Structure 1
């Protein structure tokens, strides 16, 4: 007998192990669903939804702890109303476990197949999440969830999700009325039923506004430039790297480089090279903190690309933004079905052109002059205010409005 025939390489073994774990998890929740259905044969249904012991009226799913600020105002509102809500999280390290909530019930459901298996079999009145793509890949709509609701975690275009990102939600909570236009366009193109669109404001900006106001002013402040790009081949660090950073660091300004969180995963090699290149530069700081507010507060100006953090900085700090010229590939996104290859048709690009300062590669050699000439003006300040009024409505009210919507929706469906 040839023992080589029994060999499984590590990569294949890892893949098979993942499949087995996923299958076992799915089988567990599938068995639970079958058991529930058996009980229904005896006890029946109520209002078309299985009434089992796992049914929860209000559920929020937070796929990653970095979205904590999106949901915090909503959880606080339910706590204030003494109304129970279930909070599904991916990890026992989620910030919710450091709170002394009485009515918020956190539950760890893991990540990947484990989380999807739980979500696919759950029973609830309403589920609210920032995660797109329900009913597209592994995550399926459960027959026993009455209403699926998406809430935004940034003030950018609603069409900048991967294909079909919002198609199968029942409702979407908007930060501003502007983001509903693309949703309606895609519904008409794809023959989808109209979703309920409700403008509630921006929960996470409400949180950050309070936090940033509490940070004391820096003593002996030195002029600081914050480099905070998106990630991917079209983003600032991948596209320009040291060609921009070399002359920028030579200005002598304090430079904070805050890579996108996904860069640590998808572009680790590139970040390692840049970190090594500038390890001896005293005026360079790398920021990987979960909260961006400390760097935002410290910075006098931001250099970015098409990252949504531009609008965090603009709306919270009201300071000038320089954006580097880059071409975004819209093909993987819903936006392609609206704008084709014309990425400048995006709301965020139009807004950037209106209230930001364009930086082209030919100007990298005179970056210090560009920054010094980027002094604020009453006109730019007014344009930033107009963008803020459009994208961040109902300031300070998003948590209350979101809780109102969740409770009213379940009442209507009961």
Structure 2
């Protein structure tokens, strides 16, 4: 009870501070984060913006434990707003407001009564019309597009549904750039190895019928006696938040399996770089892993999560479906007993997959290694009062 009161007091104080005259400068450019893990998707853009010595940024987070409060940069002004967010959103007077949250103005999070320019930043590189609601991006003024597939999909949706055209910025995706750059360092570090063991990371989505709910115990039973394997289970952050008792049950089940571990820190990428193979279902992590490390993926063919039942109206195959066979192999849930041999086949063909994934990255991502500059340039133009093209 006392913690809840203290948290609400901090929220009230931060809310008043955010809308005070003293915060007018940083309030011109606002980034909103639902939790600590979302900074990684803004990181490159913020670093580019702060290359301008006169720029300050307001960073609004709904996570009271967000590491942003530890002081990443004095020109990033952090504010905690959670329960009051739906009220605060109405009164922002910012020039540019950047979010990774879809469905602006469709539910309780509304556009401001003032002339705020809303910019959507993706936290995944997949398609826009399969695992998002149909209206997810309709009320944004601009979208920082990862690659040509998203530009094509959004323009087609605007045509099919008669929507007002948005400004589509050809940016790219900093998260994959960072994984790619970091992975080169890991690969060159001979001490960073599994001691001759093959490392497998299991990282599913959190939607219904995911791996953890449908077949994780069968996978554990199939692999727990394999001393040549080091297996890391990495639940989705939403799964950890919503299903703590299931996570605890998995932890207990693997307690006597020496080659299994559970990773709950979503801000660490060490095991992602160590992994020789990723096992997933429909999680967007497969694209980050495959295109960032050029290593193969084993897909457990659980039911596909479809948030937009009308996705076929665009007559464009979603990226998540198109790239699956190019990034690895698919294993049906009823054939889990073959999971070890499937891992072995992917390892044997690793070079072939690596060459293909390099090509795919070039085809599907804008401005590789320079995405953040493209995004920051657009945000600065908006903040300076220049009309969107």
Structure 1 length normalisation: TM-score? 0.80
RMSD: 3.0
Matched, 1:293 2:258: no
- Written as runs of structure 1 = structure 2, the 5 A alignment for 1:247-286 is 247-252=222-227, 253-286=229-262
Deviation at 1:131, TM superposition (A): 0.9
- Written as runs of structure 1 = structure 2, the 5 A alignment for 1:338-377 is 338-339=311-312, 345-374=317-346, 375-376=348-349
Deviation at 1:405, TM superposition (A): 0.5
Deviation at 1:305, TM superposition (A): 0.8
Match of 1:218 in 2: 192
> For the Cα contact (< 8 Å) 2:226–2:259, is it kept in 1?
no
Deviation at 1:354, TM superposition (A): 2.4
Q: Deviation string for 1:78-133 (max 9, x for gaps)? A: 22111222221224532333345243222222x2x312211221111110111111
- 1 CA distance for matches of 2:109 and 2:379? 21
Unpaired stretches in structure 1, ≥5 consecutive residues: 1-16, 37-51
> Which among 400, 410, 413 is matched to residue 373 of structure 2?
400
Q: Deviation string for 1:3-27 (max 9, x for gaps)? A: xxxxxxxxxxxxxx99xx9xx98xx
- 2 CA distance for matches of 1:368 and 1:383? 23
Match of 1:180 in 2: 151
Unpaired stretches in structure 2, ≥5 consecutive residues: none
Match of 2:160 in 1: 189
Structure 1 stretch displaced more, 125-134 or 269-278: 269-278
Match of 1:308 in 2: 284
- Written as runs of structure 1 = structure 2, the 5 A alignment for 1:88-237 is 88-99=60-71, 101-109=73-81, 111=82, 113-159=83-129, 160-215=131-186, 216=189, 217-219=191-193, 220-237=195-212
Higher Cα Rg, which structure? 1
- Alpha carbons of structure 1 residues 377 and 273: separation in structure 2 relative to 1, 3 Å: closer
Deviation at 1:53, TM superposition (A): 5.4
> For the Cα contact (< 8 Å) 2:200–2:276, is it kept in 1?
yes
- 1 CA distance for matches of 2:319 and 2:37? 25
Deviation at 1:168, TM superposition (A): 0.4
Deviation at 1:396, TM superposition (A): 2.0
- 1 CA distance for matches of 2:363 and 2:382? 26
Deviation at 1:348, TM superposition (A): 0.9
Deviation at 1:382, TM superposition (A): 3.2
- 2 CA distance for matches of 1:377 and 1:367? 16
> For the Cα contact (< 8 Å) 2:34–2:62, is it kept in 1?
yes
- Alpha carbons of structure 1 residues 55 and 357: separation in structure 2 relative to 1, 3 Å: closer
- 1 CA distance for matches of 2:105 and 2:324? 33
Q: Deviation string for 1:178-232 (max 9, x for gaps)? A: 1122222322333210111111111222333444444444252421111111112
> For the Cα contact (< 8 Å) 2:183–2:273, is it kept in 1?
yes
> For the Cα contact (< 8 Å) 1:90–1:108, is it kept in 2?
yes
- Alpha carbons of structure 1 residues 240 and 339: separation in structure 2 relative to 1, 3 Å: farther
> For the Cα contact (< 8 Å) 2:207–2:305, is it kept in 1?
no
- Alpha carbons of structure 1 residues 96 and 272: separation in structure 2 relative to 1, 3 Å: closer
- 2 CA distance for matches of 1:53 and 1:223? 53
Q: Deviation string for 1:266-312 (max 9, x for gaps)? A: 33333232222221111111011122421111111111111111111
The residue matched to 1:322 in structure 2 has which SS? Answer: strand
- 2 CA distance for matches of 1:373 and 1:273? 31
The residue matched to 2:59 in structure 1 has which SS? Answer: strand
Deviation at 1:58, TM superposition (A): 1.5
- 1 CA distance for matches of 2:180 and 2:87? 36
